[in-house]
Amino acid sequence: MKQMKQIRQMTQGTIFTVVGNCNGHNYTVGEKYKVVQHSLREHNVTGCSLDGYFVGNTLKDSDITAFTTRETMLSDIENISSTIKELEEMLQETKTKLKYLEASGEEEFNENEFRVFIALKTIEDKSISEKERIKIIAGLLN
């Protein structure tokens, strides 16, 4: 049995060339299409002259040659790296909040007490310059 995929399963930015019938969806053989949106109401491929290319369309893997561009890959790398950085920051913040809960003996998180906890830890940390400590504590006030 041939593998089928819906356009909604294709990564945005994916470019594919039609090499077969494509389940009778009237994609032109030999034409390139680019997945640009995942919306039931909007067109989701470019490079076509007909309406009606929607995310529910199914395509046999054997009817298309999908590829992506260097630009798309670089963009993906940038987006993934950014997401990883955000998640690492969230993880570090959550670990710090847990340390506060453990140090305070509290079971429920309190934002104001947490800020005081951070301020005290910052004041105690002599490895941080006085100027940096001032900036950190000032940032807690906002």
Model pLDDT, residue 20:
75
CA 137 to chain CA mean position, Å: 31
pLDDT tens by residue, 56-75: 566 666 766 766 678 778 88
Question: Strand pairing partners for 4?
Answer: 60
Instruction: Please check the confidence at residue 87 and state whether its pLDDT lies above 60.
Output: yes
Higher pLDDT, 50 or 123: 123
Question: Structure tokens of 130?
Answer: 């006085």
Q: Which tens digit of pLDDT belongs to each residue from 3-60?
A: 666 666 666 667 777 777 766 666 777 777 777 655 444 444 444 433 334 455 666 6
Q: Give the pair of three-digit tokens for residue 67.
A: 């590829």
The CA distance from 70 to 42, in Å, is 26
Q: Comparing C-alpha atoms, which of 53, 46, 67 is closest to residue 24?
A: 53
pTM (2 decimals)?
0.52
pLDDT of the residue at 90: 96
C-alpha of 51 from chain center: 29
